[in-house]
Amino acid sequence: RPTLTGRIAPSSLGSNGIPRENKTDRIAMEAWVRAVVEAIHSSRAQAVIYLAGGASQALGWLLSVPGASGSVLEVVVPYSRASMAQLLGKLPLQFTSKQAAEDMALAAFNRALKLSGPGLQVMGVGFTGSLASSRPKHGDHRFYVSTRTQNRLRTSHVTLSKGFTEQRGRRQGLKLFCA
């Protein structure tokens, strides 16, 4: 399981201690993200995606590139405990966990089977993360992403070092989703 570690160089921090935006990185990131999203949309698979905690930017990227209507069947964001319990038919023992992501991917896969046309490849995607928050965090910043197809379940886990840039974390998540 990949674990990301690192520190932000002091020279890249502004006077307020927040990382300065690197315009070159932002432009390269946007081009890279667009290429990945276009590859997703050009695949023959259609997906139902369930996202909980911290993946809203990736969802925006996915839906903003032409072709989303051919690859995305449905997106659900079960953000509250009650919503997650209703989606899964149970309350997860831990919300940010491998099991929760896999349960979400299975539920999404089953939903995709109902929404897709006959003979089409379908995929269920489950994402759950515990990332930056307005409340103090005691545990790691981490996320799990799981994909379920007819014959395969794949799950990845990433732990981010506290202070790790949010943009780099999103990039890593998108790489795992596409792997």
Highest averaged pLDDT of the listed ranges 20-24, 39-43, 59-63, 148-152: 148-152
Q: Which domains, from first to last, does the chain contain?
A: 28-178 (3.90.950.20)
Looking at residue 175, what is its pLDDT? 55
Looking at residue 18, what is its pLDDT? 47
Reduced to 3 states, what is the DSSP secondary structure of residue 108? helix
**Mean pLDDT to the nearest integer, 12-28:** 48
pLDDT tens-digit profile of 147-162?
Answer: 999 999 999 998 887 6
User: Band of the pLDDT at 25, cuts 50, 70, 90?
Assistant: very low
Instruction: Give 166 or 103, the one with higher predicted confidence.
Output: 103
DSSP secondary structure string for all residues of 58-86: HHHHHHHSTTHHHHEEEEE---SHHHHHH
Q: What is the mean pLDDT of the chain?
A: 78
Instruction: Please state, as a whole number, how many other Cβ atoms lie within 10 Å of the Cβ of residue 37.
Output: 22
Looking at residue 2, what is its pLDDT? 34
Q: CA triplet 115, 119, 125: central angle to 5 degrees?
A: 50
Q: How many helices (H) and strands (E) does the chain have?
A: 6, 5
pTM of the entire predicted model: 0.72
